Amino acid sequence: MSFVSKCTADVILRAAKALKDGHLVTFPTETVYGLGADASSSEAVARIYAVKGRPADHPLIVHIASMHDMDKWAINIPEYAIKLAREFWPGPMTLVLKRSELAKDFITGGQDTVGVRVPNHPIALALLEEFQKLGGHGVAAPSANRFGAVSPTTAEAVHDELSDYLGDEDLILDGGNSQVGVESTIIDCTGANPSVLRFGAITEEMIKVASELSLMGSALKNEIRVSGALESHYAPKAIVSLDVIPKAGEGYIAMNHLISPAGVIRLASPSTTEEFAHVLYSSFREADRAGISRIVVQQPVGPGLAEAIRDRLRKASAANNFH
Ligand code: TXA
Ligand code: MG
């Protein structure tokens, strides 16, 4: 495995070729880092599952260079999905659409839908464009963490998570800190109205305005297999407790107007919800590195991105039951 910290045009070309040859390339996006493979190759995609340690029937998001590539992967695309794509791509949004012939069972987990996204990061976009020039159609990429663990928001975190599992020809591309810090909003676009499957930085309010439609009741509890919808997920090694008072020696994440009780290890003091999302996963990792046994988080209030953060926190704290 090579770790590349300066992603020049040459490096991007080498990475695109590696993908085309069936190797894995982890790359930065604005949400979290992705573990990429050629989405048309069952062998390459099988390696994603092996490296992640993820059950093979979980669907993967196909990353494409532009919304114009949507109809390669999807059919019967509703007008509102086009509006959402125009408004929010490149950006932290995944659209779930009826799959085309190209989206095989090894991508969709056997479902008749496919998730597609145009990420908003210069390195990701350059890689996707170069891959396309080489004849590629799309890059399947889950978050670049082991199954159930916290998504990486830096290349170093990717290295810590996956270096033991990646092969000689695989690459880790460094593109700095992921700006958003939580995974994309997933929107089911197979019904008459959009429906949110996973909360993220594209909020329900933004979706309503851009689609000019009301949202179908949250489908978070429905039958669709969204691995992020499993109760225990996004979890650090430390126990995560919500909205309690931390004790000395414990980690603490809270908005900056909240003071730390004596002896508490302050992991983050964000001043906005955006900053909260941006620092959350790296704070979890910092706590694990420091060997902290419990992280207390004072949850952010309000709608939108705060809701996405609370969703991830609920799942991180649900993992306590398994400790
Ligand atoms: O921000 C993100 O979305 C990141 C970056 C790398 O793009 N990717 C990511 O992938 O979070 P992953 O695999 O960790 O989470 C994707 C979620 C999974 O929970 C999966 O079940 C769901 O998307 N998903 C993918 N295709 C789907 C489909 N056809 N129907 C329903 N859910 C789907
Ligand atoms: Mg993930």
Q: What is the pLDDT of residues 64-118, one digit of tens each?
A: 999 999 999 999 999 999 999 999 999 999 999 999 999 999 999 999 999 999 9
d(CA 250, CA 8): 42
- pTM of the full structure: 0.95
Report the distance separating Cα 80 and Cα 141, nearest Å: 25
Please state the atom number of ligand 1 nearest to the C-alpha of residue 107. 26
Residues 259, 275 contacting (CB under 8 angstroms): no
pLDDT tens readout for residues 3-44: 999 999 999 999 999 999 999 999 999 999 999 999 999 999
- 142 CA distance to ligand 2 centroid (A)? 6
- pLDDT at res. 312: 96
Q: Is the CB of 45 under 6 A from ligand 1?
A: no
**Residue 295, pLDDT above cutoff 90:** yes
Please give the Cα distance from 83 to 36 (Å, whole number). Answer: 27
| Residue 205 reports pLDDT greater than 90 | yes
Q: How far apart are CA 247 and CA 180, in angstroms?
A: 30
Q: What ligand 1 atom has the least distance to the C-alpha of 94?
A: 3
226 lines ligand 1 (CB under 6 A): yes
59 Cα–ligand 1 center, Å: 7
Query: Which pLDDT score is estimated for 218?
Result: 62
Residue 156 near residue 75, CB atoms below 8 Å: no
pLDDT above 70: percentage of residues in the chain:
94
Instruction: Please name the residue that has the structure tokens 């145009």.
Output: 118
pLDDT in tens, 109-160: 999 999 999 999 999 999 999 999 999 999 999 999 999 899 999 999 999 9
Mean pLDDT of the chain: 94
Angle between helices 305-318 and 273-289 (to 10 degrees): 20
Q: Report the SS3 class of residue 143.
A: strand
Mutational test site, ligand 1, from 97, 127, 183, max ligand atoms within 8 Å of CB: 183
* Residue linked to tokens 């996204």: 117
Residue 230: per-residue pLDDT: 57
Q: Is the CB of residue 98 below 6 angstroms from any atom belonging to ligand 1? A: no
- Domains of the chain as residue ranges with CATH: 2-221 (3.90.870.10), 239-322 (3.40.50.11030)
